[in-house]
């Protein structure tokens, strides 16, 4: 008898529930932003321009985070993302200049990032060096190599200098999608509650958006699919959870770890390439400015999962873009965070988690007081947001975060016995 | 007493030797790859430094060494204090701001400023320690976050309370502490507060080898369970070690502040990056006081001597950053290789002895 085919299995029911949860959280976040926008009369908070800037700020963080995800899912902690990313900025500029095609440049960025990944893989997988130690060394090498290579290869070029290379061709920009861009922008200008905010998002995604941004979003989906829906992904993740068990089942753990770390480096490299080719007018030395670390933070924030990583990267990218805009918008962000914290407080009181409620209520109230007593926030505080948020999430949610079980542990072939 | 064993010493030196060969090789290859002359590069680098460079090397060695000691305190008990950079930036700002306020005069001002540097560095890194013990947050991630927060915070404070001059902003100028001039006046002076590095090194050695705390620290680093069983409170140990590491980190830039800089300005007078160099040197020197001294001297030599490259060759001084990075990566790999090799050697010796023993009894 096969009557169960029509009713969903418990597993898929849980998964659907989780998916619905994510949808509700996303809708709730948009509604909260919208409410704050109307209350404080700062339409810039979700204007098409702000969202566009947010997408541009999100992409490099997303790629760094994705790099972290690939490596850590195979059990290798990759603190060297920053170095691999900075290598990618040089690779993108160098290959774009000499080939004339930004897409070749992006491949070059991936290649340079991969070289950084290869160094990390050799040190950590083959030689069993501590992952953090190797990552620190790779960051030193990455920054040093980029500075040196830029001085050696860009100084005499047109548009170049010892520390920069500008005037590079950029990846194709999609100007507008007929039938969607126009109406969405009109709707966004109406400043209605919720509808205009969503329209603004749609407009930003369909107007004057770099094709590379869309590729990057596609890479997130592809990574999620490969890692969770294919047998290759299952084997790769098994190396991060229990490499000894994977080995006894015939998985070539070293090979999978190498592949994962190489992909990780390539992802970080592409993130660097995006910085040089799309996010700014060209290459400049030390352009990453800690984004590799923010990507790592976004991945942890997202609990080592692609969906959460996307949420983390969007949050950090959004605050990063607001920093560059109206200070008034940043000020209303205070209210937003205060409202969010108070909402969590109420939720925790309902669930009778009193200690957790207090932990949320105190910063929430403090932010509310700050909002009511000032009219602007120094820009510096906005740029701290990703870091402070990550510390908060880690401090309050470490018990709920679950990293791959064998993440960062040394593993030697044959240790399964 | 350990007996003198030439093979053990040879094995101990093998790691650094491999690392030096590797970094020389990579550097040469990179220089050749971009079409410059490796020969010019090495002959410039190996030129005996001029008096001015010699003075600079001593000063830089002192600061890098202090940073390395700060990193090593954490490493010896298995804590990764990646946050030296943020700790010494914040501490340097606090000390420079206090000293600039001139609430005290003469040596009292200097002394209290140093205390403030220690206190601020310790407090900032204790945050990571407390997060680790109370909430289980990995100190690697939290110190990375605290680095960025500290640097932004200093930028904000400097902007708000600093002295604005044209496009730059810095803390109020202070009186320098005159140092020792070993050569001509124009060659500069060795800063008085270089003594901090000496004290840090000696203090580190005494702490590790002659005190209960140092024993507990090393025990915790070797095995947390053993340390716990022998009565060490791991939570208190983590917070103390982090605070101590951050406190020493607070002192990193102090010699330069009172020796030459006169004020703290981000991107101008303040020398950033010493924290990461310190971590690198601690790894290079295996967290041993003497090993780190050689490492710090090597790094300082490379950094200072690379300035000559601008005049003598077409190789950019930033090449030494590659040399330094490769040296660190190579040394950690080499130590691992040597460790495995030694383990195999020992196994073979044991197997041989067991083999002869069983033959004898048979």
Residue B337 has pLDDT above 90, yes or no: no
Determine whether the interchain pair A300/B322 forms a contact, defined as Cβ–Cβ distance below 8 Å. no
The nearest CA of chain A is from the CA of B278 a distance in Å of 11
Lowest mean pLDDT among A158-162, A220-224, B244-248, B276-280: A158-162
- Residue A274's nearest CA partner among A14, A8, A62, A13 is A62
The token duo for B349 is 């010796």
In a mutational test of the B interface, the residue from A380, A400, A401, A403 whose CB has the highest number of chain B CBs within 10 Å is: A380
- Residue A82's nearest CA partner among A105, A65, A103 is A65
Between the CA of residue A393 and those of A58, A334, A388, B174, what are the distances in Å? 19, 17, 9, 41
Angle between helices B319-361 and B274-284 (to 10 degrees): 20
Determine the Cα–Cα distance for residues A227 and B322; give it in Å rounded to an integer. Answer: 34
Q: What is the DSSP letter of B190?
A: B
DSSP string, B211-240: SHHHHHHHHHHH-HHHHHHTT--HHHHHHH
Say which of B80, B142, B325 has its CB closest to residue A391.
B142
Determine whether the interchain pair A162/B333 forms a contact, defined as Cβ–Cβ distance below 8 Å. no
Residue A237 near residue A74, CB atoms below 8 Å: yes
Q: Which residues of A touch B318 (CB under 8 A)?
A: 144, 147-148, 151
Determine the Cα–Cα distance for residues A267 and B242; give it in Å rounded to an integer. Answer: 33
Residue A295 near residue A271, CB atoms below 8 Å: yes
In a mutational test of the B interface, the residue from A86, A87, A94, A136 whose CB has the highest number of chain B CBs within 10 Å is: A136
Q: What is the DSSP letter of B253?
A: T
- Residue A270's nearest CA partner among A147, A108, A145 is A108
pLDDT tier at B359, thresholds 50, 70, 90:
low
pLDDT tier at A5, thresholds 50, 70, 90:
very low
Interface residues of B toward A, Cβ cutoff 8 Å, are: 30, 34, 36, 80, 82, 131, 135-138, 140-142, 144-146, 148-149, 152-153, 155-156, 159-160, 276, 279-280, 283, 316, 318-322, 324-326, 328-329, 332-333, 336-337
Determine whether the interchain pair B337/A127 forms a contact, defined as Cβ–Cβ distance below 8 Å. yes
Determine the Cα–Cα distance for residues B100 and A127; give it in Å rounded to an integer. Answer: 50
Report the pLDDT value the prediction gives residue A2, as an integer from 0 to 100: 42
Q: Which residues of A touch B160 (CB under 8 A)?
A: 378
Report the pLDDT value the prediction gives residue A19, as an integer from 0 to 100: 64
Lowest mean pLDDT among A185-199, B43-57, B285-299: A185-199
Determine whether the interchain pair B149/A388 forms a contact, defined as Cβ–Cβ distance below 8 Å. yes
Determine the Cα–Cα distance for residues A157 and A164; give it in Å rounded to an integer. Answer: 10
Determine the Cα–Cα distance for residues A232 and A246; give it in Å rounded to an integer. Answer: 12
The nearest CA of chain B is from the CA of A19 a distance in Å of 28
Report the pLDDT value the prediction gives residue B1, as an integer from 0 to 100: 42
Q: Which residues of A touch B316 (CB under 8 A)?
A: 147-148, 151-152, 162
- Residue A232's nearest CA partner among A210, A206, A208, A251 is A251
Q: Where are the domains of chain A?
A: 43-305, 326-399
Report the pLDDT value the prediction gives residue B64, as an integer from 0 to 100: 97
Helix (H) or strand (E) holding A164: strand A164-166
Across B107-135, b (16+ Cβ under 10 Å) vs e yields: eebbeebbebbbbbbbbbbbbbbbbbbee
- Residue B333's nearest CA partner among B290, B283, B299 is B283
Between the CA of residue B175 and those of A152, A394, B8, what are the distances in Å? 41, 43, 50
Determine whether the interchain pair B156/A136 forms a contact, defined as Cβ–Cβ distance below 8 Å. no
Between the CA of residue A361 and those of A28, A349, A357, what are the distances in Å? 19, 10, 6
Report the pLDDT value the prediction gives residue A94, as an integer from 0 to 100: 95
Residue A285 near residue A145, CB atoms below 8 Å: no
The nearest CA of chain A is from the CA of B273 a distance in Å of 10
CB count in 10 Å sphere of residue A380: 18
| Average pLDDT over every residue of A385-401 | 76
Helix (H) or strand (E) holding A173: strand A173-174
Residue A173 near residue A211, CB atoms below 8 Å: yes
CB count in 10 Å sphere of residue A124: 29
More confident residue, B128 or A18: B128
pLDDT tier at A72, thresholds 50, 70, 90:
very high
Lowest mean pLDDT among A122-126, A186-190, B88-92, B277-281: A186-190
More confident residue, A255 or A377: A255
| Average pLDDT over every residue of A243-270 | 95
The nearest CA of chain B is from the CA of A351 a distance in Å of 21
- Residue A74's nearest CA partner among A295, A302, A232 is A232
Residue B331 near residue B19, CB atoms below 8 Å: yes
- The pLDDT tens digits of the residues spanning B144-181 come to 889 989 999 999 999 889 899 888 889 988 888 888 88
Residue A238 has pLDDT above 60, yes or no: yes
The token duo for A191 is 């400043």
| Average pLDDT over every residue of A245-263 | 94
Our measurement of the distance from residue A237's CA atom to the centroid of its chain's CA atoms, rounded to an integer in Å, reads: 20
Determine whether the interchain pair A381/B156 forms a contact, defined as Cβ–Cβ distance below 8 Å. yes
Q: What is the mean pLDDT of chain A?
A: 86
The nearest CA of chain B is from the CA of A11 a distance in Å of 31
A43-305 maps to which CATH number?
A: 1.10.3470
Q: Which residues of A touch B140 (CB under 8 A)?
A: 79, 132
Determine the Cα–Cα distance for residues B250 and B242; give it in Å rounded to an integer. Answer: 12
Determine the Cα–Cα distance for residues B218 and B104; give it in Å rounded to an integer. Answer: 40
Q: Which residues of B touch A149 (CB under 8 A)?
A: 34
Determine whether the interchain pair B148/A162 forms a contact, defined as Cβ–Cβ distance below 8 Å. no
Determine whether the interchain pair A398/B153 forms a contact, defined as Cβ–Cβ distance below 8 Å. no
Residue of B nearest to A145 (CA): B322
Lowest mean pLDDT among A179-183, A262-266, B71-75, B341-345: A179-183
* Side-chain half-sphere exposure of B97, counting CA atoms within 13 A: 20
Our measurement of the distance from residue A402's CA atom to the centroid of its chain's CA atoms, rounded to an integer in Å, reads: 18
Residue A382 has pLDDT above 80, yes or no: no
pLDDT tier at A9, thresholds 50, 70, 90:
low
Between the CA of residue B226 and those of A204, B140, B219, B229, B237, what are the distances in Å? 58, 23, 7, 5, 14
Q: Which residues of B touch A388 (CB under 8 A)?
A: 145, 149
What is chain A's percent helix, strand, coil content, to nearest 5? 75, 5, 25
Residue B192 has pLDDT above 50, yes or no: yes
Residue A200 contacts B where some CB pair is shorter than 8 Å: no
Say which of A148, A387, A388 has its CB closest to residue B318.
A148
Report the pLDDT value the prediction gives residue A114, as an integer from 0 to 100: 97
Report the pLDDT value the prediction gives residue B204, as an integer from 0 to 100: 94
In terms of Cβ atoms closer than 10 Å to its own Cβ (0-12, 13-18, 19+), residue B339 is: middle
DSSP string, A237-303: HHHHH-HHHHHHTT--HHHHHHHHHHHHHHHHHHHHHHIIIIISSEEETT-STTHHHHHHHHHHHTT
Say which of B30, B141, B156 has its CB closest to residue A378.
B156
- The pLDDT tens digits of the residues spanning B95-120 come to 999 999 888 888 899 999 999 999 99
The residues with which A161 forms a beta bridge, in sequence order, are A164
Report the pLDDT value the prediction gives residue A388, as an integer from 0 to 100: 83
Across A340-357, b (16+ Cβ under 10 Å) vs e yields: bbbebbeebeeeeeeebb
- The pLDDT tens digits of the residues spanning A80-112 come to 999 999 999 999 999 999 999 999 999 999 999
For CA atoms A407, A408, A414, A415, the dihedral sign is negative
The token duo for A223 is 């990574």
What is chain B's percent helix, strand, coil content, to nearest 5? 75, 0, 20
Q: Which residues of A touch B326 (CB under 8 A)?
A: 141
- Residue A46's nearest CA partner among A189, A209, A206, A178 is A189
The nearest CA of chain B is from the CA of A358 a distance in Å of 16
Contacts of B276 (CB under 8 A, 6+ apart): A136, A139, A140, B84, B85
Determine whether the interchain pair B276/A133 forms a contact, defined as Cβ–Cβ distance below 8 Å. no
Residue of B nearest to A390 (CA): B145
Residue A350 contacts B where some CB pair is shorter than 8 Å: no
Residue A268 has pLDDT above 50, yes or no: yes
Determine whether the interchain pair A136/B159 forms a contact, defined as Cβ–Cβ distance below 8 Å. no
Say which of A133, A140, A293 has its CB closest to residue B325.
A140
Determine the Cα–Cα distance for residues B296 and B291; give it in Å rounded to an integer. Answer: 9
Determine whether the interchain pair B153/A132 forms a contact, defined as Cβ–Cβ distance below 8 Å. no
Q: Which residues of B touch A396 (CB under 8 A)?
A: 135
Determine the Cα–Cα distance for residues A97 and B66; give it in Å rounded to an integer. Answer: 43
CB count in 10 Å sphere of residue A16: 11
Determine the Cα–Cα distance for residues A146 and A89; give it in Å rounded to an integer. Answer: 8
Segment 362-401 of chain A within 8 Å of chain B by CB: 378, 380-381, 383-384, 386-388, 390-391, 394-396, 398-399
| Average pLDDT over every residue of B272-289 | 91
For CA atoms B306, B310, B313, B317, the dihedral sign is positive
Domains and CATH numbers, chain B: 55-308 (1.10.3470.10)
The nearest CA of chain A is from the CA of B338 a distance in Å of 11
């Amino acid at each position: 008898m096969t009557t169960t085919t029509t009713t969903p299995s418990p597993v898929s029911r849980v998964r659907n529930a989780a998916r619905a949860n994510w949808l509700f959280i996303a809708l709730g976040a948009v509604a909260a932003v919208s409410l704050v926008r109307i209350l404080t009369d700062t339409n810039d908070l979700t204007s098409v321009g702000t969202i566009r800037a947010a997408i541009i700020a999100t992409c490099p963080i997303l790629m760094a985070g994705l790099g972290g995800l690939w490596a850590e899912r195979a059990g290798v902690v990759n603190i060297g993302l920053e170095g691999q990313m900075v290598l990618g900025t040089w690779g993108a500029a160098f290959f774009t200049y000499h080939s004339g095609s930004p897409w070749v440049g992006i491949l070059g960025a991936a290649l340079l990032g991969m070289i950084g990944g290869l160094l990390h893989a050799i040190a950590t997988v083959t030689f069993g060096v501590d992952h953090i130690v190797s990552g620190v060394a790779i960051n030193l090498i990455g920054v040093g190599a980029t500075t040196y290579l830029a001085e050696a290869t860009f100084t005499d070029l047109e548009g170049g200098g010892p520390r920069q290379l500008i005037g590079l061709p950029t990846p194709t920009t999609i100007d507008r999608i007929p039938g969607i861009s126009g109406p969405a922008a009109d709707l966004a200008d109406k400043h209605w509650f919720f509808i205009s905010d969503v329209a603004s998002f749609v407009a930003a995604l369909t107007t004057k958006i770099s094709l590379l941004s869309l590729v990057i979003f596609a890479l997130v989906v592809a990574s999620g699919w490969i890692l969770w829906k294919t047998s290759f992904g299952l084997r790769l993740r098994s190396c991060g959870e229990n490499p000894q068990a994977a080995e006894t089942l015939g998985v070539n753990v070293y090979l999978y770890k190498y592949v994962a770390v190489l992909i990780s480096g390539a992802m970080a490299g592409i993130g660097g390439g995006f910085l040089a080719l799309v996010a700014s007018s060209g290459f400049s030395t030390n352009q990453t400015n800690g984004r590799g670390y923010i990507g790592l933070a976004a991945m942890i924030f997202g609990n080592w999962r692609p969906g959460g990583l996307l949420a983390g990267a969007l949050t950090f990218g959004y605050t990063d873009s607001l920093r560059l805009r109206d200070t008034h918008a940043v000020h209303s962000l205070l209210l937003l965070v205060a409202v969010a914290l108070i909402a969590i407080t109420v939720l925790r009181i309902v669930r009778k988690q009193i200690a957790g409620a207090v932990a949320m209520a105190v910063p929430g109230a403090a932010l509310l007081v700050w909002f009511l007593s000032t009219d602007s926030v120094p820009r510096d505080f906005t740029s701290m947001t990703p870091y402070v948020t990550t510390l908060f999430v880690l401090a309050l949610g470490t018990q709920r975060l679950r990293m791959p079980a064998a993440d960062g542990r040394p593993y030697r072939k044959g240790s399964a016995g | 007493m350990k007996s003198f064993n030439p093979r053990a010493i040879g094995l101990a030196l093998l790691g650094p030797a491999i690392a030096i060969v590797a970094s020389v090789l990579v550097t040469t290859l990179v220089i050749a790859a971009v079409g410059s002359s490796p020969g010019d590069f090495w002959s410039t680098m190996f030129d005996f430094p001029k008096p001015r460079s010699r003075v600079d090397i001593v000063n830089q060695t002192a600061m890098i060494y202090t940073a390395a000691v700060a990193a090593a305190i954490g490493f010896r008990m298995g804590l990764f204090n990646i946050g030296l950079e943020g700790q010494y930036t914040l501490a340097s700002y606090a000390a420079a701001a206090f000293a600039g306020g001139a609430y005290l005069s003469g040596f009292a001002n200097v002394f209290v400023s140093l205390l403030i540097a220690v206190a601020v560095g310790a407090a900032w890194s204790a945050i990571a320690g407390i997060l680790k013990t109370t909430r289980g947050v990995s100190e690697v991630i939290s110190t990375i976050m605290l680095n960025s927060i500290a640097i932004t915070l200093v930028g904000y404070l400097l902007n708000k309370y600093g002295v604005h001059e044209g496009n730059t902003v810095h803390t109020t100028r202070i009186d320098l502490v005159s140092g020792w001039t070993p050569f001509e006046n124009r060659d500069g002076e060795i800063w008085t507060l270089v003594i901090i590095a000496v004290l840090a090194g000696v203090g580190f050695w005494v702490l590790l080898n002659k005190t209960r705390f140092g024993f507990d620290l090393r025990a915790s680093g070797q095995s947390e369970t053993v340390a716990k069983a022998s009565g060490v409170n791991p939570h208190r140990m983590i917070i103390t070690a982090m605070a101590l590491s951050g406190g020493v980190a607070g002192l990193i830039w102090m010699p330069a502040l009172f020796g030459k800089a006169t004020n703290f300005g981000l991107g101008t007078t303040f020398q950033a990056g010493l924290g990461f160099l310190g971590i690198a040197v601690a790894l290079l020197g295996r967290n041993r006081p003497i090993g780190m001294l050689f490492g710090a001297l090597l790094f300082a030599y490379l950094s200072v001597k690379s300035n000559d490259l601008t005049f003598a060759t077409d190789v950019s001084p930033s090449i030494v950053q590659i040399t330094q990075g490769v040296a660190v990566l190579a040394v950690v790999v080499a130590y691992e290789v040597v460790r495995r090799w030694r383990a195999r050697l020992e196994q073979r010796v044991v197997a041989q002895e067991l083999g002869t023993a069983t033959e004898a009894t048979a």
